[in-house]
Amino acid sequence: MNANSRPIISVFEHSPDQGRGMARDMRVRWALEEVGQAYDVRPVSFESMKEAAHRARHPFGQIPTYEEGDLVLFESGAIVLHIANRFRGLLPEAANARARATSWVFAALSTIEPPIVEREVVEYCEHGETWFEQRLSAVDDRIRVRLKDLSHRLGEADWLDGAFSAGDLMTVDVLRRLADTSLLDEFPNLKGFVARGEARPAFRRAYDAQRAFFNAASTGRNQPANSIAKE
Ligand code: GTB
């Protein structure tokens, strides 16, 4: 960890999400808040994230990254699982329950998130194409398939497998990406699931921290007082 023994995570210097907590540092901030671990942030611009210093941390030149002493990690799933294994609070003690919670982290990232990301690509990159509406509707149907199955599994439960875990955190954060669509309206129990996640004090702290960071960046006020680790 750094001199203050706090992990450092990389975040957008100026997030294109306007402080809505939609980038993938949000799930890492949330995980750290859930386990009560303070952290510093390393802001990176779109230019600097493609430079050698950041690529040494992240081979694909992206955020988030996580630094803890000599350990440097990339990929939000690996980072959240590391935090969950390193600190108490995000994984059950029992081995089988831990393994099941891990399954949900992977399900969120490799089964639920891909069609949601595809929708974002369609919206950002294919807007204006003659076939845009048809393609968007086809991708929405693929998302619905995942939401229907997830909704069925969640049923009336608060969380996916007993107590709140890293699996719920990751799934809620992935579903939050649908906030600008009406897709979750079709699945009231999933809407409730996301609302429960967002109501957690740790989520609120993480959300407020990234928002304060965004606001300070917008007005040029992000100085070391905000616990920023610079190159
Ligand atoms: N699989 C990786 C992980 O899970 O960590 C994906 C990391 C990733 O996509 N990082 C994005 C990034 O660094 C930021 S989160 N992009 C810059 C680049 O690739 O050059 C994706 C994101 C960005 C912006 C918004 N937004 O504005 O709403 C939402 C999500």
- Verify that 61 and 108 share a domain, yes or no: no
- Verify that 62 and 105 share a domain, yes or no: no
Its pTM stands at 0.95
Give me the CATH number covering residue 126.
Answer: 1.20.1050.10
- Verify that 114 and 180 share a domain, yes or no: yes
Instruction: Give the span between the Cα atoms of 9 and 13, in whole angstroms.
Output: 12
Domain membership of residue 227 (yes or no) is no
Hey, is 39 helix, strand or coil?
Answer: coil
Lookup result for tokens 């998130």:
113
Residue 17 near ligand 1, beta carbon < 6 Å: yes
pLDDT at 8 over 60: yes
- Verify that 195 and 206 share a domain, yes or no: no
Give 49-75 pLDDT, tens digit per residue.
999 999 999 999 999 999 999 999 999
Residue 180 near ligand 1, beta carbon < 6 Å: no
Interior/surface letters 191-207, b for 16+ CB within 10 angstroms, e for the rest: bebbeebbebebbeebb
For 184, what's the count of Cα atoms within 13 Å in the CB-facing half-sphere? 17
CB atoms within 10 A of CB 153: 13
Give 93-145 pLDDT, tens digit per residue.
999 999 999 999 999 999 999 999 999 999 999 999 999 999 999 999 999 99
Domain membership of residue 69 (yes or no) is yes
Residue with CA at minimum distance from ligand 1 atom 29 = 23
pLDDT value at residue 220: 83
Answer for the pair 90, 166: CB distance below 8 angstroms, yes or no: yes
Domain membership of residue 229 (yes or no) is no
Interval between CA 90 and ligand 1 midpoint (Å): 23
Whole-number average pLDDT of the chain: 94
Q: How confident is the model at residue 4 (pLDDT cuts 50, 70, 90)?
A: low
pLDDT value at residue 15: 95
Q: Give the nearest ligand 1 atom to 20 CA.
A: 28
Question: Burial of 23 by CB count in 10 Å (0-12 exposed, 13-18 middle, 19+ buried)?
Answer: buried
Strand arrangement of the beta sheet that strand 65-68 belongs to = 40-44, 8-12, 65-68, 71-74
pLDDT value at residue 183: 98
Domain membership of residue 140 (yes or no) is yes
pLDDT at 226 over 50: no
What residues make up the domain containing 111? 95-199
